[in-house]
């Protein structure tokens, strides 16, 4: 027997033996698992096809001579022959396409087991159970739940007392600080605080109704301090002339127009948790891992802090 064929047979047998030993030595072996069986089948096929292809082309290189018609194109004096497509390659390519279609449709459908799918199913089941048990709670119980969620999810940035840890994050014990108001007035806002795309214009789109001119730096400082002081003190006239048309004279916002800048509301906090928020300190991410009731509870808790 030709040494090339003998070497191929020995190599194939050795690889198949190693494959068998690796399966036999693993816990449970194949155990009827279709994924493991497909993997082993693929490994066996890969070994056999590889050995066959290597033997074929090594043998061909030993015995064949170059002949046929050269293509017109050449690269650095090197040309190629106009050979027909190898039948074996074409058959294997076609069979690979057929196998791929079978694998995706019947062998291992796209909706079969996956860790991500299992996690999503477990999460959906947990949320359904959670909603059944806690969906109807209101009042003090909702605030207590919100405090628990806040401690688990929010305190790392906002602090255990929700004071913002010296400016690392917003101080949630008061509705808004002067620097936050100033940033929003100067740069505009599109933070989905109403739950939808309702952008606030930047300073180039804000006019002081008392003067009819664009709002000035001094007026921005005054109205920022006014809002941060709980809608009291100097700057009330600027607020009425510039901001009240959207936020209301009391600063508690207008439905579908602008959010409350006087007080927190559960809906406002929920929208921040849903969409995140960008401001003078930086960007707060959205909290998709919280379910709707948990977000409502956090909103109720934060709202209770500033009362």
Of 67, 84, 115, which marks where a domain is finished?
115
Mean pLDDT of the region 272-279: 91
The answer to whether residues 145 and 93 belong to one domain is: no
The answer to whether residues 96 and 154 belong to one domain is: no
Of 82, 115, 148, which marks where a domain is finished?
115
Report yes or no: 170 and 247 within 8 Å, Cβ to Cβ.
no
Asked if residue 125 is part of any domain, the answer here is: no
The answer to whether residues 185 and 264 belong to one domain is: yes
Count of domains for the chain: 2
Determine the structural domain holding residue 62 and report its residue range: 3-115
Mean pLDDT of the region 185-196: 85
Angle at 11 between CA 8 and CA 15, to 5 degrees: 140
Asked if residue 79 is part of any domain, the answer here is: yes
For the segment 72-122, what is each residue's pLDDT rounded down to a tens digit?
Answer: 888 888 888 887 788 888 999 999 999 888 888 877 766 666 777 788 888
Asked if residue 19 is part of any domain, the answer here is: yes
Report yes or no: 229 and 242 within 8 Å, Cβ to Cβ.
no
Asked if residue 218 is part of any domain, the answer here is: yes
The answer to whether residues 159 and 190 belong to one domain is: yes
The answer to whether residues 75 and 18 belong to one domain is: yes
Residue 205 has pLDDT above 60, yes or no: yes
The answer to whether residues 107 and 143 belong to one domain is: no
> What's the chain's average pLDDT?
86
Q: Which residue did the predictor score with more confidence, 194 or 143?
A: 143
The answer to whether residues 288 and 246 belong to one domain is: yes
**Strands 213-214 vs 207-208: parallel, antiparallel or unpaired:** antiparallel
Helices (H), the chain: 3-24, 34-63, 87-102, 115-134, 139-153, 155-158, 178-187, 217-228, 236-242, 244-247, 266-275, 292-305
Cα–Cα distance list, 303 to 36, 70, 172, 283 (Å): 54, 82, 9, 21
Q: At what angle do helices 266-275 and 292-305 cross, to 10 degrees?
A: 130
pLDDT of residue 17: 82
Mean pLDDT of the region 38-48: 82
The answer to whether residues 170 and 35 belong to one domain is: no
pLDDT of residue 272: 93
Angle at 72 between CA 68 and CA 78, to 5 degrees: 80
The answer to whether residues 178 and 292 belong to one domain is: yes
The answer to whether residues 93 and 188 belong to one domain is: no
**Strands 78-81 vs 70-75: parallel, antiparallel or unpaired:** antiparallel
Asked if residue 160 is part of any domain, the answer here is: yes
Asked if residue 131 is part of any domain, the answer here is: no
pLDDT of residue 66: 66
Mean pLDDT of the region 200-211: 85
The answer to whether residues 153 and 269 belong to one domain is: yes
Asked if residue 60 is part of any domain, the answer here is: yes
Residue 1 has pLDDT above 60, yes or no: no
pLDDT of residue 25: 61
pTM over 0.85: no
For the segment 113-166, what is each residue's pLDDT rounded down to a tens digit?
Answer: 677 778 888 888 988 898 888 888 999 999 999 999 999 999 999 999 999 998
The answer to whether residues 158 and 296 belong to one domain is: yes
For the segment 21-40, what is each residue's pLDDT rounded down to a tens digit?
Answer: 777 666 555 666 677 777 77
């Amino acid at each position: 027997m030709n040494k090339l064929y003998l070497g191929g047979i020995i190599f194939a047998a050795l690889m198949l033996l190693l494959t068998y030993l690796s399966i036999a030595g693993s816990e449970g072996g194949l155990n009827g698992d279709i994924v493991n069986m497909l993997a082993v089948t693929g490994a066996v096929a890969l070994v056999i096809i590889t050995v066959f292809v290597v033997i074929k082309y090594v043998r061909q290189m030993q015995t064949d001579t170059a002949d046929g018609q050269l293509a017109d194109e050449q690269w650095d004096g090197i040309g190629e022959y106009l050979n027909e497509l190898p039948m074996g390659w074409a058959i294997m390519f076609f069979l690979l396409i057929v196998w791929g279609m079978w694998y995706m449709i019947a062998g291992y459908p796209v909706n079969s087991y996956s860790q991500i799918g299992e996690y999503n199913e477990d999460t959906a089941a947990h949320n359904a159970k959670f909603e059944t048990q806690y969906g109807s709670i209101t009042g003090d119980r909702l605030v207590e739940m919100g405090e628990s969620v806040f401690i688990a999810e929010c305190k790392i940035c906002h602090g255990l007392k929700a004071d913002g840890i010296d400016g690392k994050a917003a101080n949630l014990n008061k509705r808004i600080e002067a620097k936050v108001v100033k940033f929003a007035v100067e740069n505009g806002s599109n933070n989905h605080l109403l739950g939808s795309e309702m952008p606030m214009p930047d300073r180039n789109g804000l006019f002081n109704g008392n003067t009819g001119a664009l709002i000035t730096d001094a007026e921005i400082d005054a109205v920022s301090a006014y809002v941060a002081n709980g809608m009291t003190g100097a700057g009330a006239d600027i607020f009425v002339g510039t901001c009240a048309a959207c936020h209301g004279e009391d600063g508690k916002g207008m439905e579908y127009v602008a959010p409350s800048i006087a007080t927190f509301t559960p809906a406002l906090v929920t929208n921040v948790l849903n969409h995140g928020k960008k401001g003078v300190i930086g960007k707060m991410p959205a909290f998709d891992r919280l379910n709707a009731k948990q977000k409502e509870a956090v909103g109720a808790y934060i709202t209770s802090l500033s009362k």
